[in-house]
């Protein structure tokens, strides 16, 4: 990225965004869809976090997303603070066919709200809706899912060809439930499919609208040292590289 | 949803003996003895010994060093601990002869499998040398008895090096027919079928193979490999593909595990056939994303092999199970070795080479990232400062380097060469290469300044890794210099400029940062645990933190049972794995937990012995505590989670008078029918007596007594009168286990008594106190844990010794006194004893006497006191001297060296004779030059430390005859 240094002259704004969520909910697929508009079944596994960038136009401005796609395995959880520190945005992903993944998403939201940059914009994304949608030809199924549907087929494995009419029964997380939660917690909310591309770009454009761009621009123009640029973080820290989630925060951070 | 792990507290610094075993890549002992096919007699009794020795092998400079007998292995290391070394199983020794040489020289000739002869001159005093010989003889005999000698032949045939050497032999001599036969025996990786990564010509496979054949012919191979400087250099230029797997095994020492545990891999797979677990599910998710670009992993053959190896590891090590990144490692090594070989190598990587990297807390990873950062700080201060200034974290880039050994970070062929060095030279290689990766920023200051955030750093590193195949000196007039790739230079410079990073540096740095890392992991999980509580109830976060601390301490003392895998027959339970793992404690641990928080759940003895007054705390044991445990176990799991404890405590700590009475009633209403039976009333009285057991005076005793008579009086009175068969009223009769009094009655009875009323009003809630848990007092039998942080424990032990000591003296001078601290402590003066009436039932009497019993516990007979005295003295001495063992690394020399490096310029390395770098020709005489140039580049000066006389002697020894 040779143009990285000259970033302050053009109108592009750099936004650090982190993806969090349970393993295999489709974080990497969402990013891949957004960055290169493709869907692949087998990809590189994510060790620690994968790093990608993508530009995004918003009215007259260009946002340059620096995306950190984190590993989802539970034991990597303690490494996450390393990636979400200084982030201006986060996408917390769950899988609409797996109820437990929403629970995990909630714990991520809680953690972000308490440990991350206080102005962080968080979006909740229920992924894999292609699995719970009727096949495109027959749109007879009512669009609002019945909560009762989640009960029995919970153990069925979400298959690639599950879209044929039966789709809705794979759903374990009703849209209303997740949406209500998102509203209550102050999150942007989307249902997405990395496979079909539905809802993916929207996440990133909505986030872009909500981010205080002028604030970022103002502070990055302010001086060469950008350490304080990211949403009012205290500049400088003593420990240098620090995996502790408190690294960039003041003393009050220990209150969870 | 919290898993609370205290495993980090169990860390023990390795002993000197363990460090030696580690150095020689020996398998940990229990594994060796655990072989079911051999009765485990013998090895335990066989003694270890080390002795100064000089090693002579024909064709090599003699070398002074130390010889170690560590049955069932013989090992040697040169004085510098790196240029020459070997580890050979005793069973490969075919003959030992005492050599007749000059007078005063004590030398042994060892004939090894592979028709090799080595000579060791024992440079110690005669009796020492004699002792060594006799121990060696015993050890050899034991190996013979175990039948290990016979195992060698079959095992060696599984090694590719045998084929390599014998093929070469047959080329020279008359061709033998047996070649094909042996070829079919050796183990190999997926690469044999699916091709090895990289272009064999570019990799100069033929030249490398030739060099290795000549080395392996004269220096042993697989089990008997002798490692001289040439071996290391040949590794540094890259192992040939077909030999790679075996050399990894040999260099890392995993070959000894495979040799010592024949059939184990298959057995593990067989025993766990069909079993599913969280690990197996996680493995499934990753199988198709492990080096998917390699053709074997696009086929079932490769995927199945990968699955079996990862599963076998997770079954063998259920605590670690499976961690992402292990799939990459396993997939990588399976290209070069068979499943069984890969299984053992994975074991060595995860256990010994990268300890704690893949554990559930990943503490090893975090620790080494911290260590790496500190090394960069020392060796590359300019970069460190810049990163600090722009707030860039090294780890965002370096974490995957360490976790997956560079495999996903740089082109695979290069990563494999780093891995070659890693197995040969140890984990320090990762630090050296990682430092050098970072150091490239230094040569190009402009690039360094470009880095303004984490992303910029990653980008630059990616760019650099992608260019590793390019020429390092594209503008050089010298064509050979132009031919040097950036990768070659990376390796060379890593080893040369970062030679200050040694095994010892890393060990001491790890020691230095361990407590810091452990602390941050533990406080991280504490915060997550509190954050993830479903409800804090009426506690605030600090209070929840205190509850957590008490729980953590209890878990340290009595760990909860490991989360056990379901038995193999009950598989496919989807629900079992849906649930998140959560730490739950059993009754035993609960008792410890409660004793931290609740005054009556512990027995506190105030001991004075004339020297000091102190409080000894013990965990109390009573049915009431068990009852509380089951009362809080609302989900009937037989175990309590953090949440259960918080909710349980909430139910009792915020109560007012009426709520407390109701709570106590419910606690004793076992079947929750809203009634206490007569039995339950008695149990309730017992509970009260237990709580009051150390209160001064008889006030509470009287209260309980009155309570009981009132309860039975009211209870009987309130029983519905029954119509008898003859129409007249009968005296109400009721079984002792039938519903007897209800809450209202109970309340009335309690409130009838002033003392009980005030007890339930304030005192009872106050027996639960959330106070900071003194973590330092964790009793632990291990000494010297965690250096700095845990040195307190050593002194804690000392304190115990001291207490015991002063108690004994106190007893002998009649000043020893124990008082029990009351749980409530309201009445401090003795009151007039009241008549006890007939209130103690037999069971109560028992429990009362139990309490008084423990008072006599500690009064050991005085007669022994004096004899113990002298011994205690000794103990005390021993433990005080061991105290200051938490040494910190000697910083100054290290710093100097580091600074020197920091100012060093990167000079292109010298090329001796410039020739045109033509395509290699197989039969050309100088075909090895390309490789040899590279080999030469790795030559390090090493001083054998031999005098001329010693050299002479060595020559003599080679030709010496055996004695008699
Ligand atoms: N049907 C469907 N499958 C998806 C979707 N997104 C991801 N997947 C699949 O879910 C699995 C896990 O995806 P991945 O992106 O690796 O998840 P991550 O672990 O959260 O990064 C892969 O097999 C994907 O092919 C989706 O939108 N629809
Ligand atoms: Mg991923």
B430-457 pLDDT, tens digit per residue, is 999 999 888 877 766 677 777 888 888 8
Nearest CA to B215 out of B361, B116, B146 is that of B116
Same domain, B350 and B366: no
From atom 24 of ligand 1, which residue's Cα is the shortest distance away? A41
Q: Which residue among A4, A24, A103 places its CB closest to the CB of B450?
A: A4
Q: What is the position in ligand 1's atom list of the atom closest to the CA of A45?
A: 16
- CA dist., res. A111 & res. A115, Å (int): 6
Query: Which of B321, B354, B387 delimits the end of a domain?
Result: B354
> pTM above the 0.80 mark?
no
Residues of chain B in contact with residue A23, where contact means CB-CB under 8 angstroms, are 282, 285
Chain A interface includes B389 (CB < 8 A): yes
Give the model's confidence band at A3: pLDDT under 50 very low, under 70 low, under 90 confident, else very high: very low
Cβ neighbours around B949 below 10 Å, total:
8
Q: What is the DSSP string of A64-130?
A: EEEEEEE--SGGGGGGHHHHHTT-SEEEEEEETT-HHHHHHHHHHHHHHHHHS-TT-EEEEEEE-GG
Residues of chain A in contact with residue B578, where contact means CB-CB under 8 angstroms, are 100
Q: Which CATH class is domain A7-253?
A: alpha beta
Could you tell me what percent of chain A has a pLDDT over 90?
A: 45
Same domain, B465 and B574: no
- CA dist., res. A193 & res. B331, Å (int): 30
Pocket test for ligand 1, best of A18, A19, A20, A24 (most atoms within 8 A of CB): A24
Tokens read off for B631: 């009362």
The pLDDT value recorded for residue B865 is 35
Same domain, B556 and B666: yes
Residue B909 located in a structural domain:
no
- CA dist., res. B289 & res. A40, Å (int): 11
CA angle at B130 for the pair B124 and B134, rounded to the nearest 5°: 135
Ligand nearest to the CA of A127: 1
Same domain, B577 and B432: no
Ligand nearest to the CA of A23: 1
Same domain, B550 and B683: yes
Shortest CA gap A45–chain B (Å):
6
Q: Identify the residues whose C-beta falls under 6 Å from ligand 1.
A: A 21, 23-29, 41, 46, 72, 127-128, 130-131, 193-195
The pLDDT value recorded for residue B4 is 74
**C-beta of residue A75 within 8 angstroms of C-beta of residue B362:** yes
Chain B interface includes A252 (CB < 8 A): no
**C-beta of residue B589 within 8 angstroms of C-beta of residue B558:** yes
Pocket test for ligand 1, best of A18, A19, A26 (most atoms within 8 A of CB): A26
Shortest CA gap A140–chain B (Å):
32
Residue segments in chain B with a per-residue pLDDT below the cut of 50: 1, 31-42, 175-183, 564-579, 776-794, 832-927
Q: How many CB pairs under 8 A join A and B?
A: 147
Same domain, B687 and B561: yes
Same domain, B556 and B680: yes
Nearest CA to B782 out of B33, B15, B21 is that of B15
What DSSP character marks residue A56? Answer: E
- CA dist., res. B104 & res. B121, Å (int): 11
Work out the mean pLDDT of chain A and round it to a whole number. Answer: 75
For B541, counting Cβ atoms within 10 Å of its Cβ (0-12 exposed, 13-18 middle, 19+ buried), the class is middle
From atom 12 of ligand 1, which residue's Cα is the shortest distance away? A24
Same domain, B53 and B129: yes
The pLDDT value recorded for residue A224 is 39
Chain B interface includes A239 (CB < 8 A): no
Task: Tell me whether strands B116-122 and B226-227 are parallel, antiparallel or unpaired.
Answer: unpaired
Q: Which residue among A51, A77, A78 places its CB closest to the CB of B458?
A: A51
Query: Which of B354, B375, B395 delimits the end of a domain?
Result: B354
Q: What are the residue ranges of helices labelled H in B53-159?
A: 126-145, 148-156
Tokens read off for B772: 């900071």
Could you tell me the distance, in angstroms and rounded to a whole number, from the CA of residue A29 to the centre of ligand 1? Answer: 6
What DSSP character marks residue B723? Answer: B
- How far are the Cα atoms of A111, B631, B759, B786, B951 from residue B954, in angstroms, in the given order? 68, 79, 89, 46, 5
Kindly report the CATH number assigned to the domain that includes residue B702: 1.10.238.10
| A23 contacts B282? CB cut-off 8 A | yes
Same domain, B418 and B437: yes
Kindly report the CATH number assigned to the domain that includes residue B92: 2.30.29.30
Shortest CA gap B455–chain A (Å):
7
- Helices (runs of H) and strands (runs of E) counted in chain A: 6, 6
Could you tell me the distance, in angstroms and rounded to a whole number, from the CA of residue A40 to the centre of ligand 1? Answer: 9
State the SS3 of B828-848: CCCCCCCCCCCCCCHHHHHHH
Q: Which residue among B323, B390, B541 places its CB closest to the CB of A256?
A: B541
B370 Cβ neighbours under 8 A, 6+ residues apart: A241, A243, B513, B516, B517
The pLDDT value recorded for residue B726 is 59
Same domain, B331 and B389: no
- Residue numbers of A between 92 and 111 with CB closer than 8 Å to B: 100, 103, 107, 110-111
From atom 9 of ligand 1, which residue's Cα is the shortest distance away? A26
Residue B661 located in a structural domain:
yes
User: Which residue range(s) make up the domain with B86?
Assistant: 35-156+928-962
Chain A interface includes B395 (CB < 8 A): yes
Residues of chain A in contact with residue B362, where contact means CB-CB under 8 angstroms, are 75-76, 78-79
Q: What is the position in ligand 1's atom list of the atom closest to the CA of A72?
A: 19
Ligand nearest to the CA of A32: 1
Q: What is the position in ligand 1's atom list of the atom closest to the CA of A194?
A: 27
Query: Which of B743, B766, B789 delimits the end of a domain?
Result: B766
**C-beta of residue B678 within 8 angstroms of C-beta of residue B659:** no
Coil, strand or helix: which one is B564?
Answer: coil
Residue B61 located in a structural domain:
yes
Q: What is the DSSP string of B449-505?
A: HH--SHHHHHHHHHHHHHTTTSBS-TT-SSHHHHT-BHHHHHHHHHHHHTTT--HHH
Name which residue leads in pLDDT, B24 or A149: B24
The domain tally of chain B equals: 4
| B395 contacts A75? CB cut-off 8 A | no
Task: Tell me: pLDDT of A34 over 90.
Answer: yes
The full set of domain ranges for chain A reads: 7-253
Same domain, B552 and B696: yes
- Residue numbers of B between 464 and 503 with CB closer than 8 Å to A: none
Residue B578 located in a structural domain:
yes
**C-beta of residue B445 within 8 angstroms of C-beta of residue B881:** no
The pLDDT value recorded for residue B480 is 86
Q: Which residue among B395, B449, B525 places its CB closest to the CB of A82?
A: B395
B807 Cβ neighbours under 8 A, 6+ residues apart: B607, B609, B816, B858
The pLDDT value recorded for residue B961 is 74
A54-80 confidence digits (pLDDT tens): 988 877 788 899 999 998 888 998 899
């Amino acid at each position: 990225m040779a143009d990285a240094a000259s970033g302050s002259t053009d109108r592009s704004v750099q936004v650090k965004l982190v993806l969090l969520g349970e393993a295999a909910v489709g974080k990497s697929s969402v990013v891949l869809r957004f960055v290169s508009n493709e869907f692949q079944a087998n990809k590189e596994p994510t060790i620690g976090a994968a790093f990608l960038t993508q530009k995004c136009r918003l009215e007259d401005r260009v946002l340059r997303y620096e995306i950190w796609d984190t590993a989802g395995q539970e034991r990597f959880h303690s490494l996450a603070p390393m990636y979400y520190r200084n982030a201006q945005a986060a996408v917390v992903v769950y899988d609409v066919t797996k109820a437990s993944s929403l629970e995990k998403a909630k714990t991520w939201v809680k953690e972000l709200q308490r440990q991350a940059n206080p102005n962080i914009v968080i979006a909740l994304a229920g992924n894999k809706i292609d699995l719970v949608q009727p096949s495109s030809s027959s749109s007879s199924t009512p669009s609002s899912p019945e909560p009762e549907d989640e009960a029995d087929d919970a153990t069925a494995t979400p298959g690639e060809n599950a879209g044929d009419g039966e789709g809705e029964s794979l759903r374990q997380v009703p849209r209303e439930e997740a949406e209500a939660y998102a509203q209550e917690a102050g999150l942007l909310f989307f249902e997405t499919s990395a496979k079909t591309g539905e809802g993916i770009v929207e996440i990133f454009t909505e986030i872009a609208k909500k981010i205080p761009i002028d604030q970022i621009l103002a502070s990055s123009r302010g001086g060469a040292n950008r350490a304080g640029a990211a949403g009012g973080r205290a500049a400088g820290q003593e420990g240098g590289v620090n995996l502790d989630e408190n690294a960039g925060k003041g003393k009050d951070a220990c209150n969870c | 949803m919290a898993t609370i792990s205290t495993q980090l507290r169990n860390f023990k610094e390795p002993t000197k003996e363990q460090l030696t075993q580690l150095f020689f890549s020996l398998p940990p002992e229990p594994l060796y003895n655990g072989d079911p096919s051999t009765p485990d007699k013998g090895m335990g009794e066989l003694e270890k010994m080390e002795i100064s020795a000089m090693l002579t092998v024909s064709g090599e400079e003699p070398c002074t060093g130390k010889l170690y007998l560590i049955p069932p292995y013989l090992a040697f290391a040169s004085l510098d601990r790196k240029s020459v070394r070997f580890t050979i199983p005793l069973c490969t020794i075919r003959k030992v002869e005492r050599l007749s040489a000059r007078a005063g020289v004590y030398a042994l000739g060892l004939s090894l499998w592979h028709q090799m002869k080595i000579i060791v001159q024992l440079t110690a005093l005669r009796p020492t040398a004699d002792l060594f010989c006799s121990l060696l003889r015993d050890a050899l005999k034991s190996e013979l008895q175990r039948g290990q000698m016979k195992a060698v032949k079959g095992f060696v045939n599984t090694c590719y090096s045998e084929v390599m050497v014998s093929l070469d032999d047959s080329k020279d001599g008359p061709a033998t027919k047996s070649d094909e036969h042996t070829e079919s025996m050796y183990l190999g990786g997926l690469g044999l079928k699916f091709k090895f990564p990289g272009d064999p010509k570019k990799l100069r496979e033929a030249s490398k193979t030739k060099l290795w054949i000549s080395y392996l012919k004269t220096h042993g191979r697989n089990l008997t490999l002798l490692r001289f400087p040439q071996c290391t250099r040949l590794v540094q230029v890259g192992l040939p593909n077909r030999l790679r797997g075996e050399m990894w095994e040999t260099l890392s020492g995993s070959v000894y595990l495979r040799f010592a545990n024949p059939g184990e891999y298959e057995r593990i797979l067989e025993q766990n056939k069909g079993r599913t677990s969280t690990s197996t599910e996680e493995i499934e998710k990753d199988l198709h994303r492990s080096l998917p670009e390699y053709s074997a992993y696009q086929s079932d053959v490769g995927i199945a092999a990968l699955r079996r190896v990862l599963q076998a590891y997770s079954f063998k090590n259920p605590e670690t199970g499976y961690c992402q990144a292990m799939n990459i490692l396993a997939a990588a090594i399976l290209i070069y070795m068979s499943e069984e070989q890969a299984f053992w190598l994975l074991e060595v990587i995860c256990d010994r080479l990268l300890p704690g990297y893949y554990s559930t807390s990943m503490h090893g990873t975090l620790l080494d990232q911290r260590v790496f950062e500190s090394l960069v700080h020392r060796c590359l201060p300019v970069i460190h400062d810049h990163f600090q200034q722009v707030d860039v974290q090294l780890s965002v880039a370096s974490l995957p380097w360490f976790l997956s050994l560079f495999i996903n970070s740089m082109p695979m062929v290069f990563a494999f060469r780093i891995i070659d060095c890693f197995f040969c030279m140890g984990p320090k290689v990762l630090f050296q290469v990682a430092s050098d990766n970072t150091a490239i920023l230094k040569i190009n200051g402009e690039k360094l300044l470009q880095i303004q955030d984490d992303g910029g750093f990653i980008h630059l590193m990616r760019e650099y890794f992608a260019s590793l195949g390019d020429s390092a000196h594209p503008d050089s007039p010298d064509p050979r210099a132009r031919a040097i790739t950036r990768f070659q230079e990376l390796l060379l410079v890593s080893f040369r400029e970062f030679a200050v990073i040694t095994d010892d540096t890393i060990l001491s740095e790890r020691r230095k940062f361990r407590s810091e890392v452990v602390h941050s992991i533990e406080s991280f999980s504490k915060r997550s645990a509190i954050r993830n509580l479903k409800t804090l109830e009426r506690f605030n976060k600090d209070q929840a933190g205190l509850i957590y601390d008490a729980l953590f301490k209890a878990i340290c003392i009595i760990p909860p049972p490991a989360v056990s895998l379901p038995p193999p027959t009950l598989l496919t339970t989807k629900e079992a794995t849906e649930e998140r793992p959560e730490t739950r404690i059993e009754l035993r641990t609960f008792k410890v937990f409660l004793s931290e928080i609740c005054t009556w759940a512990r027995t506190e003895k105030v001991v004075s012995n004339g020297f000091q007054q102190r409080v000894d705390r013990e965990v109390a044991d009573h049915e009431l505590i068990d009852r509380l445990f089951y009362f809080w176990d609302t989900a009937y799991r037989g175990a309590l989670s953090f949440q259960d404890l918080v909710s349980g405590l909430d139910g009792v700590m915020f109560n007012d008078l009426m709520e407390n009475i109701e709570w106590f009633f419910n606690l004793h209403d076992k079947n929750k029918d809203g009634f206490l039976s007569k039995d339950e009333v008695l149990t309730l009285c017992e509970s009260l007596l237990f709580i009051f057991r150390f209160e001064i005076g008889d006030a509470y005793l009287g209260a309980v007594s009155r309570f009981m008579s009132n309860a039975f009086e009211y209870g009987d009175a309130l029983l519905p009168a029954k119509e008898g068969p003859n129409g007249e009223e009968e005296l109400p009769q009721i079984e002792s286990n039938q519903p007897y009094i209800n809450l209202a009655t109970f309340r009335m009875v309690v409130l009838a008594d002033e003392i009980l009323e005030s007890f339930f009003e304030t005192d009872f809630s106050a027996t639960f106190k959330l106070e900071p848990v003194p973590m330092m007092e964790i009793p632990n039998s291990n000494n010297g844990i965690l250096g700095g942080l845990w040195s307190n424990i050593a002194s804690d032990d000392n304190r115990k010794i001291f207490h015991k000591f002063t108690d004994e003296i106190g007893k002998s001078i009649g000043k020893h006194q124990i008082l029990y601290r009351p749980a409530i402590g309201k009445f401090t003066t003795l009151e007039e004893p009241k008549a006890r009436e007939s209130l103690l039932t037999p069971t109560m009497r028992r429990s009362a006497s139990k309490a008084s019993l423990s008072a006599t516990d500690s009064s050991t007979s005085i007669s022994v006191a004096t004899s113990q005295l002298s011994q205690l003295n000794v103990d005390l001495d021993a433990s005080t001297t061991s105290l200051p063992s938490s040494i910190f690394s000697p910083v100054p020399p290290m710093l100097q060296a580091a600074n020197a490096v920091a100012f060093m310029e990167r000079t292109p390395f010298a090329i001796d004779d410039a020739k045109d770098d033509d395509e290699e020709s197989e039969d050309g005489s100088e075909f090895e030059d390309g490789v040899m140039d590279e080999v030469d580049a790795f030559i390090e000066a090493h001083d054998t430390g031999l005098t001329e006389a010693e050299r002479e002697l060595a020559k003599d020894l080679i030709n010496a005859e055996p004695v008699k």
